[in-house]
Amino acid sequence: MLIERHVAQGFGKGELYDILVELQNMALLTQGKVYYVWKGGNSTTGLSWENAFTTITAAITAHTAYRAGIPDAQKAVNNYIIIAPATYDENIIALPYSCHMIGLGHIGTDKSTEISPTAGIALAGTVSGLHLYNIRFEGEGSGDICDFGTFNCSIVENCQFVPKSASMASAISTDDCKETIFINNRFTTGGALYCDYGLKFNGGADKYCHNTLIQGNIINGAVKAAGTGIYIASDCTASGTVIRNNIIRLTGAGIGIDDDSDNCMIVSNKIFTIAGTYADCNEDLSMDNLHNNGTTVTAEPNVPG
């Protein structure tokens, strides 16, 4: 590189300009675009609050088009979609690769970012490199709130998942998941509305829940009384996955964590049921969990002595 050569040798005529051009090109390779979503924007470029897109879908379309025209090396740099607090009536079914989607405001108040479609699913599709942060997702109907086919190298953080006006299948469902983090999310009930599952990893032939971290989530009365907080299918390859420090409350005899793959490490979770089961798992990979079954609290697995 020009920079390395001239640190030792000094600069010849015209070479300082070349260095400045190289530095500018390096900066362009390491900075992403920022797109804004605000219902008061004029929906032109999306590159400022004044010119903000009025829908999240429009911002994703612009992000995807921009990535299609840049060098491959630059595609590893994530863009940002910053979303102003409001309720967005959208079914987002084309997800943005290599992107931070950040909701502004405070979840649980009128000043939060909510994706709440009139009917159907909030998010669906296949994606890699997506970071969802501080967004409330509501689903409408009998399906899932969010349904990811393949969901790799992504993060779901500080989000909330709620059925809107009918009980649903799952808050989050995915068929194939690798190197992904679900952290500090809240799964809550919509009044008397529940999901069958909080987090559901469906598995199948050559499907994974590999090197996935599920940590610090609160599933509080969000699933049916006999439902399941976290489920990993028997044919889901769950190598290297850790489920730790989650709080799961079921109002009946359900299962807190159902790991039918018997391959997840299940550590330091706190699970409440009414005569239910803290986990169906490989107890050789489980430790320091607490289970309150409505009458007694036990350490699980129960280690003698």
Whether residue 117 is contained in a domain is answered as: yes
pLDDT score recorded for residue 305: 37
pLDDT classification of 16: cutoffs 50, 70, 90: low
Is 72 found in the same domain as 1? no
| DSSP three-state, residue 9 | helix
Confirm whether 127 is domain-assigned. Answer: yes
Residues 204 and 176 occupy one common structural domain: yes
Average pLDDT estimate for 169-186: 97
SS3 253: coil
Closest C-alpha among 237, 255, 131 to residue 199: 255
Is residue 230 in a domain? yes
CA 61 to chain centroid, in Å, comes to 20
Q: Check residue 296 and give its pLDDT.
A: 92
Q: Are residues 14 and 69 in the same domain?
A: no
Residue 197 confidence (pLDDT) above 90: yes
Q: Is 50 exceeded by the pLDDT of residue 304? A: no
Same-domain status, 209 and 100: yes
- Does residue 263 lie within any of the structural domains? yes
Output the pLDDT for position 5: 47
Residues 164-191, mean pLDDT to the nearest whole number? 93
- Over residues 124-133, the mean pLDDT reads 97
Claim to verify: residue 138 and residue 103 sit in the same structural domain = yes
Helix, strand, or coil (residue 8) = helix
Could you tell me if 229 and 115 lie in one domain? Answer: yes
Domain tally, the chain: 2
What CATH code is carried by the domain that includes residue 262? 2.160.20
How far, in Å, are 59, 60, 81, 91 from residue 96 at the CA level? 9, 6, 9, 14
In the predicted model, is pLDDT for residue 60 greater than 90? yes
| 305 located within any domain | no
Residue 3, pLDDT > 80, answer no
Which tens digit of pLDDT belongs to each residue from 235-274? 999 999 999 999 999 988 999 999 999 999 999 999 999 9
pLDDT of residue 190: 75
pLDDT at 74: 82
115: tokens are 């994706």
Say if residue 64 is in the same domain as residue 212: yes
Range of the structural domain that residue 38 is part of: 34-300
Answer yes or no: is 288 within a domain.
yes
Residues 2 and 77 in one domain: no
Token pair 């992403």 in the structure block, residue? 32
pLDDT for position 189:
87
pLDDT attached to residue 4: 47
In the block, which residue shows the tokens 């299962």? 255
Which helix (H) or strand (E) covers residue 28, if one does? helix 15-29
> Does the pLDDT value for residue 32 go beyond 80?
yes
Residues 69 and 202 in one domain: yes
Span 93-113, mean pLDDT? 92
Residues 152 and 182 in one domain: yes
**Domain for residue 19, yes or no?**
yes
Q: Nearest 5 degrees, angle CA 273-CA 263-CA 296?
A: 20
What local confidence, expressed as pLDDT, does residue 23 receive?
Answer: 53
Angle between helices 2-9 and 15-29 (to 10 degrees): 140
Q: What is the mean pLDDT of residues 116-120?
A: 95
- Same domain for 290 and 225: yes
Closest CA to 162 of 142, 145, 175: 145
Task: Assess whether 168 and 278 both reside in one domain.
Answer: yes
